Structure 1
Amino acid sequence: MEYAIALVVLAAVVLVIVVRPLLGSAGEADRTAELRAELEAAKEAKYREIRDAELDFRTGKLSQEDFRRTDRELRTQAIEILRRLDELD
């Protein structure tokens, strides 16, 4: 009887040791996919902001100085988003 209990406990321990890494990597893949989706959405939003700033400049809503500053800031932020996306690959 004691032998059977020890065997069941040993089997449970082995099962946990084998299954745990598999579950952990699936969770990590989900987090990576979620982060990638967030970064892709942020990239598209940043591109839209850049286009909006260009339109504002062309229609006279932004001075050339303001446009240059805004454009530089937005492009710097876009580059950071692209860098983070590249790190995921």
Structure 2
Amino acid sequence: MDINALPIHERKATLLVDTSRAFLMCGKHERALNILRAAADIAPEEVTGRPAALRLVRDILATAPISVRREAREYAATLGVHA
């Protein structure tokens, strides 16, 4: 899907949050984190203001391998999320 075809930033961000969750479910933590960050870049309130998105941040943080854990922890801290 071409995300640029979506006219509303919030919808783009919501799609990215859902995509991030899918990557996390496949064990691709770094990809999930990067996509979640992209969602926050497009529409920050869709990440910071949605409990489901904040749970996703916690889930990434809780299950991230060592190679991603530091980056996930730093990002979670910027959002005020603690595991």
1 or 2 for the larger relative contact order (CA 8 Å, sep ≥6)? Answer: 1
Structure with the larger helix share: 1
Q: Highest Rg: 1 or 2?
A: 1
Q: TM-score, normalising length from structure 2? A: 0.36
Q: TM-score, normalising length from structure 1? A: 0.34
